[in-house]
Amino acid sequence: MEALQTEPAAYASTAADWESLTNDEWRHRLTNNAVFVAFHQEKPVGMMGLMRQQSSKMAHRATIIMVYVHKSFRGLGAASALLERLTGHAREVGIRQLELAVSAQNPPAIRFYEREGFNQVGRIPGGIVHDGEEIDDVVMARRIVD
């Protein structure tokens, strides 16, 4: 919830969207998806989710979702560690390509993903609307097969 409250323009969902979900809805959303959490002194400081495509012809692809690292832990390797663990898991379950969409207004995140081997493959004009403003999404992908 902290991510949605502190940086609402970076996410397609709002805090209200998440708060309205029942426990059953949460369980359903997490079925067949993985969420990785980084901790510091037993407190969560970051997270990154993986949502596999459901269609049999697209099941080799997955989307990285719900990425957040607390401001005080940015630049210290938490995001890289989360991505490394997520990528390892993705390989283990047969995923060949990771994809994501990131706000065009978040150049540090775009640079991070580029350093981690992602390429920009497209742009969605007005991908999200925050406070009435249309914000483009930058679509990125990375092959993870050897």
Q: What is the mean pLDDT of the chain?
A: 85
Task: Kindly write down the DSSP assignment for every residue of the chain, as one continuous string.
Answer: -HHHHH-GGG-SS-HHHHHT--HHHHHHHHTTEEEEEEEETTEEEEEEEEEE--STTTTTEEEEEEEEE-GGGTTTTHHHHHHHHHHHHHHHTT--EEEEEEETT-HHHHHHHHHTT-EEEEEEEEEEEETTEEEEEEEEEEE---
* pLDDT at residue 22 is higher than 90: no
Domain positions in the chain: 2-143
* pLDDT at residue 20 is higher than 70: no
User: pLDDT (tens digit, 9 = 90+) per residue, 84-123?
Assistant: 999 999 999 999 999 999 999 999 999 999 999 999 999 9
Dist. CA 71–CA 75, nearest whole Å: 9
Dist. CA 84–CA 116, nearest whole Å: 9
* pLDDT at residue 18 is higher than 80: no
Q: Which of 33, 110, 53, 51 is nearest to 79 (CA)?
A: 110
Whose tokens are 């004009």? That residue is 125
Yes or no: domain 2-143 corresponds to CATH 3.60.20.10: no
Dist. CA 88–CA 83, nearest whole Å: 8
User: pLDDT (tens digit, 9 = 90+) per residue, 79-93?
Assistant: 999 999 999 999 999
Q: Which of 63, 99, 69 is nearest to 81 (CA)?
A: 69
Whole-structure pTM value:
0.80
Least confident of 17-21, 27-31, 46-50: 17-21
Give me the phi and psi of 60, to 5 degrees please: -85, 0
